[in-house]
DNA sequence: CGGTGAGCTAACAATATTGTTAAACACGAG
DNA sequence: CTCGTGTTTAACAATATTGTTAGCTCACCG
């Protein structure tokens, strides 16, 4: 081998990459270790050599995805200096863009957390504090803005669920939504652009006094 | 046996019911035929006696669920005589109630359609015509209402996706949303009531001129 | 009654999937 | 060079899961 170090890293990394794709596409139960190995271009035994078990390998992948989800929520701290409404708009767009760049992520994480309640409670422990302070913070800002007559008085939790719904669901259900769009086969780019604008406008209308 | 006919029907029916629960809970790949048989209280062989293969049994279940989804869209024809806005409100509520009464349905159908593109195109063939005329019809009504100044001029497709997102996503992601609600463990009933109202209000605001 | 057939059971067969092992290999350190 | 260590391979083992079969039971029908 010309470059051992590179090759070394590659084998483990190749397996991880193939596993990521496999698990994201088929879910834990639908994923097959032989297919992971073959699409990584390594023998089946290598997978067990590096990761011991399928579950182990899955956890490696899943932890990353879980972190990614947690990270996606940091967008709500963006642009603290902008005027309230502009800031909200930017936040919604940033969150939408994150989802658009990780289209398979929500369905994957939701599915796996639902079928693994023990993972769900771990995840909860990891982020519930963070989310709690986040919601409280935004609620305070929103109350302030409401006092100034900039927006309606709202329950921030409800608004956040609205945002998540509007930003995530269209990607989860994209194959089905194509049916609604029926006749005119949609350009995916155009669909994304439209939904992005729609999410923002819906929430903006909702916040109006 | 005291009552042969009843028992006959029961065995097949018991398997179907157990299978429905198993497939809805774990998906096709996660579902195990032995677990279906045992939770139906019959021997493993009976399952193959009545349904031949796992896939066959799955299709029986899935077709029903698919029909249910198609049927759920009929609510959009409700209350044709009410004033436009009241009618929309009633329709959103009816659709929400349907989802609330079939909470596991959307995630199941979406997951299976995504992992079975051939089923997706079958489903598309089944309902795309229906959906097409439905959208066209509502669009015409909406244009009329807009002309009269009752609502903004809107693209009905976008609104329908909004409605679907707001009505479906909170149930799909319910376990995760409990994390957002964090501290105060939510009463499920209260959560549903809140989301029901929220869906209607969001869309109503969106439609305002 | 005897036999016929649908429903049923237990045991088995076949396959798919995951996991293991012994031996070969590559390669740097001593 | 050769020893040791980490990597790789091919073949195998173990288990899980689906599917099949031969034969039993029993109500029913002539």
Structure tokens at B181: 């609600």
Taking contacts as CB-CB distances below 8 angstroms, the residues of chain A near B117 are 175
Q: Are B195 and B96 in contact (CB under 8 A)?
A: yes
pLDDT of res. B8: 43
In this predicted model, what pLDDT tens digit does every residue of A144-189 receive, in sequence order? Answer: 999 999 999 999 999 999 999 999 999 999 999 988 776 566 788 9
Residue A194's nearest CA partner among B177, B110, B158, B145 is B158
Kindly report the backbone phi and psi dihedral angles of residue A17, in degrees, each rounded to the nearest multiple of 5, phi listed first: -65, -45
The model's pTM: 0.93
Spatial distance between the Cα atoms of A79 and A75, rounded to a whole number of angstroms:
9
pLDDT digits (tens, 9 = 90+) for A67-107: 999 999 999 988 889 999 999 999 999 999 999 999 999 99
Residues, CB < 7 Å to strand C = A 1, 4, 31-34, 44-45, 48-49, 52-55; B 7-8, 11, 42-46, 49
- Dist CA B162 CA A68 (whole Å): 25
Question: Where is pLDDT greater, at B2 or B62?
Answer: B62
Near-strand D residues (CB closer than 7 A):
A 7-8, 11, 42-46, 49; B 1, 4, 31-34, 44-45, 48-49, 52-55
What digits encode the pLDDT tens for the residues B165-189?
Answer: 999 999 999 999 988 776 566 788 9
* Residues 6+ away with beta carbon under 8 Å from A208: A151, A152, B205
Question: Which residue lies nearest D28, CA-to-C1' measured?
Answer: B4
Determine contact: B111 vs chain A, CB below 8 A. yes
């Amino acid at each position: 081998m010309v470059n051992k170090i590179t090759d070394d890293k590659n084998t483990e990394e190749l397996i991880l990459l193939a596993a990521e794709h496999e698990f994201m596409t088929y879910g834990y139960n639908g994923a097959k270790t032989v297919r992971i190995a073959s699409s990584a271009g390594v023998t089946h035994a290598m997978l067990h050599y590096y990761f011991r078990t399928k579950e182990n390998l899955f956890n490696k992948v899943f932890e990353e995805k879980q972190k990614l989800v947690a990270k996606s929520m940091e967008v709500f701290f963006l642009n603290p200096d902008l005027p309230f409404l502009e800031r909200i708009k930017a936040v919604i767009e940033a969150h939408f863009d994150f989802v658009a760049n990780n289209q398979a992520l929500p369905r994957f994480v939701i599915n796996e957390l639902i079928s693994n309640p023990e993972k769900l409670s771990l995840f909860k422990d990891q982020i519930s504090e963070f989310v709690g302070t986040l919601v409280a913070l935004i609620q305070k800002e929103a109350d302030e803005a409401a006092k100034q007559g900039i927006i309606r008085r709202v329950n921030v939790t409800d608004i956040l669920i609205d945002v998540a719904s509007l930003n995530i669901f269209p990607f989860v259900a994209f194959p089905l939504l194509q049916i609604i769009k029926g006749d005119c086969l949609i350009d995916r780019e155009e669909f994304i652009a439209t939904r992005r604008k729609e999410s923002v406008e819906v929430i903006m209308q909702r916040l109006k006094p």
